[in-house]
Amino acid sequence: MIRGDYDPDRIRRLKAPLRRAWARARYAMAAEEPGGPPPPVDPSTRGKVHRIGLVGVIIGLSALLIATLTIPGAALIGRLARNVAGRLEGGPTGIEGVSFKIAQRSVIYASGGQVIATLAGEENRMIVPIDQVPAVAQEAVIAIEDSRFYEHNGVDMGGMFRALFTNLEAGGIRQGGSTITQQLVKNVIVGTDKTLDRKIREAQYAIALEREKSKREILELYLNEAYFGEGIYGIGTAAEFYFGKKISKVTLAEAALLAGVIRAPERYGPLADAKSALSRRNLVLDRMAILGYATRVEADAAKAQPIKASAHALPKPVEPYFVEFIKDQILDNPKFGETRAERAAALFQGGLKIHTTLDLKLQKAASKAVSDVLTSPKDPAAALVSIEPSTGKVKAMVGGSDFEKNKYNLAVQGKRQAGSSFKPFTMIAALEAGVPPGFTLDTPSPIELTDAAGQVWKVNNYSHRGEGTMDLRRATELSVNSFYAQLIHKIGPEKVVATAQKLGIRSELRPYLSLALGTFEVSPYEMSSAYSTLANNGVHCVPFAIDRIVDAGGKTVLRNDPQCERVLDEKVAAQADAILAGVVTRGTGRTNGQIGRPAAAKTGTTDDYKDAWYTGFTPNFSTAVWMGYPKDRTRPLYNIHGYREVFGGSLPAMIWSKFMRVAHQGVPVTSFPAPPAAPKAVVPDVTSLPFEDAKTALEAAGFSVRQETVASSYAPGVVAGQDPAPGTKVEAGRLITVFVSDGSGGGEPEPEPTVEPDPQPT
């Protein structure tokens, strides 16, 4: 109250009639106590409160305000009242165009319905239907904020006078005169500026709102819109934050505490000022007893209880790397807003229910597989992605080990050279081009090849020695570099680029010969997706992690159904599966990559051991594992858990197999489709032909050719013999050795046995 020069007698004269009115009101309330709270007014009578009543309220408000501030002159009061009455004319007749959409947090769910993240913006709010708010909580709010809520039609004249009188007697603000409807209008429609115009519009809209919405709807909006301090909005969120329970479970004392906070959260919040919160709570309980919402015994028992409130912050995301992956997809999707800011508002304040494909059982198995193998804080990082081949659903994703220290998602953002795990794309391109699985080559090391631009490419095997002659199957099982260098040179790198892209690789690839050895960078997410095409018998399903998104109104605004397309002939896919299955049973994955059921895979290790991969699949899951040092791309994987040099078939294969064993628990064993029978061909007779003619004839028959020079009586450059012998029926693609004469004389050469190469761990 403003102090200064004033006339005490004049103030007393103005307050006298209000004292009498307040006495009558208190008497009426006391008389009503035994019978309970006032019954709701018949809706048919609500429209009988006319605008002239509101004028009277504003006139009284203006008169008391002026008297309190010692502004002289009854004429001034009259002019002010007439001004207010004039401004009320032409007010809104309805609430057309007014949005009562309240910001609320979004929730991300795993495939089983478990909450894995709650996303809250500036307003942490969880909308709860009025049916879920118990009567005790509704009554506590009504008792302290608007005891005549069910009687007025938006503006409570008696409440205004009562609040003014109480505040005058107290010498400050002790009660508010606004109804629940007015408070809702103030917060949602007209704003909070302290002007008479705003108060008039508030009253106008309050009456209009009551014409179009039921009391139940208005109360629901108010309870969910109200601020409860600590960044918490809505009574459901407040119960969760202060008590760690659902609003449906609050006690009488807790309901009274929450109701008391609304008037001034900074003052009455239990964490901000426990003493004031206690006093305010007890005031609410007293009001509830007076109004019949609780008996005096119940209220006193509740008042005797200490305040037990503490901060229950939102839990951290269960799988933060996956959650960030989901958030980024929404923030990048124009469906949720034209600008990123609009999409962020939808994500953090739109009340979205985001249902994902993540399987928490598999996710835990993936995280455990990594932590079981990489047990030291000094160990390198690992990433894992597992996809369901038949749908494209992402079932597990490990993007790192410590999100707080490094938020970079290695599974999606971490693109690194794939090494030999990229070789299957060259293999598949060759199979599509008609190269049979039995295609055989010699594998010298080093070998030099010239690309289309005339550049010489020098390639070494892992062992830095020749591995002898071998077919496509064995070269894949043992990951022989010189074989694959010759293979991509034969079919052309453009075919490999096209094959990798249609299988699911989305990173930039260029048609270089080195592509065969995985020199371009890709992510585990892409590799898992591409290999899933082989697991699904040549049908590629676009990977996705969001199953559906439901908005705050219950409408499904996004749904991802499997998008699958055949990109490989099923016979080619079966051939590729059979070859890669040999990697697990006989090749570089045989030591650590077996899981007790049919599986196919490929190991990968880059030069100088900077990156190690193990990517493999069954018909049920396609899983890629990468290992390396994220912050130092040049650091080799040396001396880790007994491995002097880490390669794909070592620690990455261990992680893969540990995860895949758990993933397949309870899943029936399924085999890959049988590949078509290996084609046979008859070896033509090329003896006596010049070498170039002999080579052309053999290649036309589907064979590869190796030349050896021998002493022979044939003319120089003429084929003196061949192995296998002419007329032999052998697998197509087999290497035919032709013995070319040097013209020096001598007998026909004896065939030499094929050299069996040593396995190599790449």
**CA 719 to each of CA 169, 439, 549, 725: distance values in angstroms, whole numbers, following the listed order:** 122, 22, 71, 13
Peptide bond into 38 cis (omega under 30): no
- Coil, strand, or helix at residue 465? coil
DSSP state of 133: S
Give strand pairing partners of 173. none
CA dist 506 and 501 (Å) reads 6
Secondary structure E strands in 54-137: 106-109, 115-119, 124-125
The sign of the torsion formed by the CA atoms of 265, 269, 273, 276 equals positive
CA–CA separation, 577 and 571 (whole Å): 10
Instruction: Give the amino acid at 679.
Output: P
The residue annotated as part of the active site, out of 420, 479, 528, 529, is 420
Please tell me the distance from the alpha carbon of residue 444 to that of residue 483, in angstroms, as a whole number: 8
DSSP-assigned states of every residue in 575-603? HHHHHHHHHHHTSTTTTT---SS--EEEE
Contact between 547 and 352 under an 8 Å Cβ cutoff? The reply is no
420 labelled catalytic: yes
Largest CA distance in the chain: 143
Rg (CA), the chain: 40
Report yes or no: 367 and 658 within 8 Å, Cβ to Cβ. Answer: no
The one catalytic residue in 123, 139, 145, 240 is: 145
The Cα–Cα gap between 688 and 706 comes to 16
DSSP secondary structure, 239-301, as one string: HHHHHSS-GGG--HHHHHHHHHHTT-HHHH-TTT-HHHHHHHHHHHHHHHHHHTSS-HHHHHH
DSSP 744: S
H, E, C per residue of 294-338: CCHHHHHHHHCCCCCCCCCCCCCCCCHHHHHHHHHHHHCCHHHCC
Cβ atoms of 306 and 296 within 8 Å: the answer is: no
Q: Which positions are annotated as active-site residues?
A: 145, 420
